[in-house]
A and B are shown apart, each in its own frame.
Chain A
Amino acid sequence: MQPAVTLRVTRYRPEQESEPTLATYEVPYRKDWVVLDALNYIKDTLDGSLSFRWSCRMGVCGSCGMKVNGSPKLTCASFLSDSLPGPIRVEPLDYFPVVRDLVVDMSDFMRKLKKVKPWIIRHDERPLAEGEYLQTPDQLDAYKQFSMCINCMLCYSACPIYGLEPSFIGPAAIALAQRYNMDSRDEGAPERLEILSEHDGIWQCTFVGECTKVCPKHVDPAGAIQQYKLTGAIHWLKSLLLPRGAR
């Protein structure tokens, strides 16, 4: 077993440096360790000034997305043993402004998430006293996969369209819009369609499919975008062909 592994980690402290650089650290190799454990080793014993986000260490909080050897990954789910013999490159996610070191600014996503109205929209609320909305397991399955998004931002970092056109609303936000559209309790699809059909909406996606490949939760944002394009196209055709009342 190899005794140590080399990590090359992006350092960028805007108060001191004008450009990001790569720093090299030697960390002990342990077969149970993930990249995040190695980063914590660096922070605890080698350099307390390295900054990165992390929390649950079980692949569900979505905090620790970074690029590992060039691919967007959750560092808590990326074993050192998968990248031997090293060196292992750890960099901030692409296409987001870097705040510092491995920390990116994701406020753009937070604005876009709100824009797609990711909540249940109904014309009439059923009173709580009347109990739950019935929803069969099949109806649940229709949107369940899109509800698994942990907002980790890997899909944005993998999306070449987002890289070229930051106004693109992006894979996760579209998947979450679709999560509500497909929910049998929701009646908000027309409102969301208008938002998504705007110029910076789904039409920009050329079905590269990278978002689905990197998703750690198998959400399939690319599938959501394609479903949406079809709905959007039908909606557009109807608006041309049908008299107003029948749309």
Chain B
Amino acid sequence: MDRFACDVLVVGGGGAGLRAVIAVAETHPKLRVAVISKVYPMRSHTVSAEGGAAAVIKAGDSLDAHAYDTISGGDWLSDQDAVEAFVREAPEEMLRLEHWGCPWSREPDGHIAVRPFGGMKIERTWFAADKTGFHMLHTLFQTTLKYDAIERYDEWFVTKLLVDAGRCQGVVATELATGKIQVITAKAVILCTGGCGKVFPFTTNANIKNGDGMALAYRAGAPLKDMEFVQYHPTGLPFTGILITEAARAEGGWLLNKDGYRFLQDYDLGKPEPKPVLRSMELGPRDRLSQAFVKEQEKGRTLEGPYGHYVHLDLRHLGARVIDTKLPFVRELCLKYQNIDPVKEMIPVRPVVHYMMGGVSTDIHGATPLPGLYAAGEAACVSINGANRLGSNSLTECLVFGARAGEAAAAFAAAQREPGPSVLAQADDEGRRLEEKFRRKTGGHERIATLRAEMHETMEESAGIYRTGATLEKAAEKLQSLQERFGDLALADHSYTFNTELTAALELSYMLDVAEAIVHSALRRRESRGSHQRTDFPARDDAEFLAHSLAYRGADGRPRVEYLPVTITRWPPGKRVYGR
């Protein structure tokens, strides 16, 4: 085991992580700062984000309007002080990215162009065609290369947070290329590991989205907030789960049932107009659109294919020119992966797990309740997204709260002493655990793929678009038994060099923890709000549940759920109104 040391260590090299690491380098240039990631940073899942990033920039828009859309979109579970900070800092963060070279789409006169997006009353979504996340990620990554102070540990997989004397002081990781177990001490650690869509079988999320940071924090004693809120995006390609961006509807795409009928008009989302209308119909929020799909399926008005029920997304009336300039990636993905041309044919789509509103609980500065531990991006829950995130808020969130977490962690680190010897003893223990329980493990009867498939099935059945107490109870039991069976894992690969079976096993264990947090949090929230819909408790219950859930890892290894009040500043809870 080698020992490395830095002042601020960022775990994860996606949008939030890279923004955080630059914030440290710029605000505290004397600190040693590093980013550790299980993939090369430009592979991070930010790369897949398509539609855009929201920030107020145009005349006629206002910060309050962006805040209200976000808060009502989140069914009043967002912390309003966090939302106010978010909308206030968003424009400057987006401009900064422009100055760093992000190829934003432009107006004819050279100004930034914006497009409409779901749940937003005014056009404020900046975009780089429909590869916004890709361009943001590569711009950020290439920009980090100019800071010699930023160190990188590429393809290192974090297995444990080191906590001593009540504060986080580093990590243990395996270096994938060599299989060496390494320790990196740090005075502050920022988790920017993204979400955990892979706990579900059908997701837009990349293979790497396993809730690593959420599980690391949870195991270290930090709570996970609002984990029951799982966003289904209404338009994924069947089988692959590849996302067809909301921008396709923002540009004027229609959702049609099997009769060619724009079915959203039956779900209190407004009247069908030929041109897109903001906060209406296809530009309603994602939770409501995904719920409408399920109702439509129950009425027998969806189509059925080899990969389940689906509806149609119709872009044909937009024409080849609009599709090629505004939605080139949609056309590329449809042609390559679905063998259809959206210029001439309708796209089959169905709701698909897309985003976790919940995550590691942080305050407005990205600080978790565990001193020295910070989080930002999808891995974190500040919360600005409440019970349902609006499309195009998450990329911006990575920038605003990545920067905030970076600055706060740097300020914290600057005032700390070097980690002491006891963290190294902990690291030795972790090294032994990895060797004995995984690398040298023989015997065992369970396959990774089997346990993963059973977890997938459990999560889809219990924690999907509609939930009930009875199935959630059963799911909680099932997940506990999967946790036990995980101890009986059979591993075929005992080598050190780039052992991806080992990482898959560790990822599965992270996902099982995160899945338990989701199910237990969903079980205890006996109301329906945003993306969390309980058929046994169909109404929102502000008296009881205008509160964030906090899932702590209990002494028995099961989640213990507590609650934290929502911060309301200027927008008292009201009714979510769309299309009117």
User: What per-residue 1/0 map shows which CB atoms of A26-48 lie under 8 Å from chain B?
Assistant: 00000010000000000111011
**Residue A194 CB within 8 A of the other chain:** no
Given the interface pairs A99-B498, A133-B98, the reply to whether A147 lies near B135 with Cβ below 8 Å is yes
A201 and B579 alpha carbons, distance in the complex (Å): 58
CB < 8 Å neighbour of A49 from B131, B142, B177, B495: B495
Judging by beta carbons under 8 Å apart, are B493 and A49 in contact?
yes
Stretch touching chain A among B43-51, B279-287, B528-536: B43-51
Within 8 Å CB of B177, what residues of A?
A: 99, 105
Within 8 Å CB of A61, what residues of B?
A: 39, 42-45, 47-48, 206
In chain B, residues 361-381, which have Cβ atoms closer than 8 Å to a Cβ of chain A? none
Judging by beta carbons under 8 Å apart, are A137 and B449 in contact?
no
Given the interface pairs A49-B493, A119-B143, A132-B111, the reply to whether A56 lies near B103 with Cβ below 8 Å is no
**Residue B544 CB within 8 A of the other chain:** no
Judging by beta carbons under 8 Å apart, are B145 and A119 in contact?
yes
Given the interface pairs A128-B92, A135-B106, the reply to whether A55 lies near B208 with Cβ below 8 Å is yes
A32 and B138 alpha carbons, distance in the complex (Å): 30
In chain B, residues 30-53, which have Cβ atoms closer than 8 Å to a Cβ of chain A? 39-40, 42-45, 47-48
Judging by beta carbons under 8 Å apart, are B101 and A183 in contact?
yes
Stretch touching chain B among A138-146, A162-170, A203-211: A138-146
Given the interface pairs A77-B336, A186-B101, the reply to whether A56 lies near B111 with Cβ below 8 Å is no
Within 8 Å CB of A105, what residues of B?
A: 177
Within 8 Å CB of A135, what residues of B?
A: 106, 110
In chain B, residues 441-480, which have Cβ atoms closer than 8 Å to a Cβ of chain A? 447-449
Judging by beta carbons under 8 Å apart, are B500 and A126 in contact?
no
Q: What secondary structure prevails in chain A residues at the interface with B?
A: loop
Report the minimum CB–CB distance from B203 to chain A (whole Å). Answer: 11
**Residue B497 CB within 8 A of the other chain:** yes
**Most chain B CB neighbours (cut-off 10 Å) among A16, A53, A176:** A53
User: What per-residue 1/0 map shows which CB atoms of B163-204 lie under 8 Å from chain A?
Assistant: 000000000000001000000000000000000000000000
Judging by beta carbons under 8 Å apart, are B134 and A60 in contact?
yes
CB < 8 Å neighbour of A32 from B103, B239, B500, B504: B239
Within 8 Å CB of A43, what residues of B?
A: 500-501, 504
A119 and B99 alpha carbons, distance in the complex (Å): 10
Report the minimum CB–CB distance from A191 to chain B (whole Å). Answer: 12
In chain B, residues 94-135, which have Cβ atoms closer than 8 Å to a Cβ of chain A? 95-96, 98-101, 103-106, 108-112, 131, 134-135
A134 and B95 alpha carbons, distance in the complex (Å): 12
In chain A, residues 177-231, which have Cβ atoms closer than 8 Å to a Cβ of chain B? 180, 183, 185-186
Within 8 Å CB of A19, what residues of B?
A: none
**Residue A59 CB within 8 A of the other chain:** yes
Within 8 Å CB of A48, what residues of B?
A: 447-448, 491-493, 501, 504
Report the minimum CB–CB distance from A118 to chain B (whole Å). Answer: 4
Within 8 Å CB of B239, what residues of A?
A: 32
Within 8 Å CB of A151, what residues of B?
A: 40, 42
Judging by beta carbons under 8 Å apart, are A134 and B109 in contact?
yes
Within 8 Å CB of A56, what residues of B?
A: 43, 45, 47-48, 206-207
Judging by beta carbons under 8 Å apart, are A128 and B448 in contact?
no
**Residue B416 CB within 8 A of the other chain:** no
CB < 8 Å neighbour of B99 from A32, A126, A134, A180: A126
**Residue A13 CB within 8 A of the other chain:** yes
Query: Nearest CB to that of B453 among chain A residues?
Result: A44
Report the minimum CB–CB distance from A66 to chain B (whole Å). Answer: 14
**Residue A68 CB within 8 A of the other chain:** no
Judging by beta carbons under 8 Å apart, are A118 and B142 in contact?
yes
Within 8 Å CB of B207, what residues of A?
A: 54-57
A230 and B21 alpha carbons, distance in the complex (Å): 38
**Residue A63 CB within 8 A of the other chain:** yes
A176 and B103 alpha carbons, distance in the complex (Å): 13
Judging by beta carbons under 8 Å apart, are A176 and B134 in contact?
no
**Residue B146 CB within 8 A of the other chain:** yes
Within 8 Å CB of B106, what residues of A?
A: 135-137, 140
CB < 8 Å neighbour of A55 from B45, B108, B143, B336: B45
Report the minimum CB–CB distance from A47 to chain B (whole Å). Answer: 7
Within 8 Å CB of B240, what residues of A?
A: 32, 57-58
Within 8 Å CB of A14, what residues of B?
A: 497
Report the minimum CB–CB distance from B360 to chain A (whole Å). Answer: 22
User: What per-residue 1/0 map shows which CB atoms of A102-135 lie under 8 Å from chain B?
Assistant: 0101110010011001111000011010011111
A57 and B234 alpha carbons, distance in the complex (Å): 19
Some 9 contacts from A to B, beta carbons below 8 A apart, are A16-B495, A43-B500, A45-B449, A49-B501, A54-B207, A59-B333, A60-B47, A60-B329, A107-B154
Q: A32-B240, A49-B492, A56-B47 are in contact. List 14 more A-B contacts (CB 8 A).
A: A44-B449, A49-B501, A51-B499, A54-B207, A55-B206, A56-B206, A58-B243, A99-B497, A120-B101, A131-B95, A132-B99, A137-B105, A143-B103, A183-B101
